[in-house]
Structure 1
Amino acid sequence: MSDTLKLVCETCGQANRIPAGRLADGPKCGSCGDPLVTGKVAELDIATHDKATRGDELPLVVDYWAPWCGPCRMMAPELAKAAGALKGRARFAKINTEDFPAVSQRLGIRGIPLLVLWKSGHEIARLPGARPAAEIEGFVRSHL
């Protein structure tokens, strides 16, 4: 890992440079002041999704979901557990594919829920289907 990491604020979309050794200190966005590493799952819009998946240098796990999808709703608390367990090693977010269908089309998403692991603008891996927290954590750890 380099001395600094680029993280996109999941609230305002601003890119921030953070010293890698300070991730546990609760870094905040230089623009809006919101925390950058929370251990929670952030809700993204399409613009912030695109900035974060292209620019984040800390692994970013994005859950592609829809509110009508039962397995998606069932997996939400498991995703939150995994986000807490991996705080500082990866960030977690979700994007509603019903509100932003263009993202599904662009990424060739055929089924949800779908977790995609991103780092530095590259898709690292995909994990389809509803999964328990332990499997989500294992998926992320196996690709770190």
Structure 2
Amino acid sequence: GHCKQPLPWMVDAGDDDFTEVAERADVPVVVDLWATWCGPCRMVSPALEKVATDLAGRIKLVKVDVDKNPRLSQRFEVQAVPTLLVLDKGRTVARQAGAAPAPAIRQWVEQSITAREG
């Protein structure tokens, strides 16, 4: 959008507001655990944003900077960035590490949420 409002299906979250933002969402949440110094994270970011836009209303993208949010990084046992998770009501239903192109990410996300949709 042009109105400079944050897009409801793409948000940043951290140790303090993750529960509110990600675990209480009424749609599955794709969590992007990333770091500013990480090259592959910068590659995967636009792909994730495209997928989130394509699937707006069906998923929510929540980006977490692991360096600023050590509790989340520990909780999800992040060993490499980017690490992508799909959460359904706070429960991890899918997980993948490393960068991938948008079509591959979209397929992975859709498979993860289709299992939930039935």
TM-score of Structure 1 vs Structure 2, range by shorter chain: 0.7 to 0.9
Rounded Cα–Cα distance in structure 2 between residues aligned with 1:140 and 1:62: 11
Indicate conservation of the 8 Å contact 1:60/1:92, yes or no: yes
Q: Percent identity?
A: 34
| Alpha-carbon shift at residue 44 of structure 1 (Å) | 1.3
Q: Name the counterpart of 1:47.
A: 16
**If you compute each CA radius of gyration, which structure gives the higher value, 1 or 2?**
1
Indicate conservation of the 8 Å contact 1:53/1:121, yes or no: yes
SS of corresponding position for 1:89:
coil
| Alpha-carbon shift at residue 51 of structure 1 (Å) | 2.5
Question: Which structure has more RCO (C-alpha within 8 Å, separation ≥ 6)?
Answer: 2
Alignment of 1:1-144 (within 5 A): 38-39=8-9, 41-144=10-113
The letter of the residue matching 2:24 is G
SS of corresponding position for 1:95:
strand
Normalised by the size of structure 1, how large is the TM-score?
A: 0.69
Rounded Cα–Cα distance in structure 1 between residues aligned with 2:11 and 2:23: 17
Rounded Cα–Cα distance in structure 2 between residues aligned with 1:95 and 1:136: 17
Indicate conservation of the 8 Å contact 2:29/2:87, yes or no: yes
Rounded Cα–Cα distance in structure 1 between residues aligned with 2:12 and 2:21: 12
Indicate conservation of the 8 Å contact 2:41/2:81, yes or no: yes
Q: Which runs of 5+ in 2 are unaligned?
A: 114-118
| Alpha-carbon shift at residue 52 of structure 1 (Å) | 3.1
How many equivalent pairs are there?
A: 109
SS of corresponding position for 2:94:
strand
Normalised by the size of structure 2, how large is the TM-score?
A: 0.83
Indicate conservation of the 8 Å contact 2:22/2:62, yes or no: no
Rounded Cα–Cα distance in structure 1 between residues aligned with 2:15 and 2:103: 28
Q: Which runs of 5+ in 1 are unaligned?
A: 1-33
Indicate conservation of the 8 Å contact 1:44/1:95, yes or no: yes
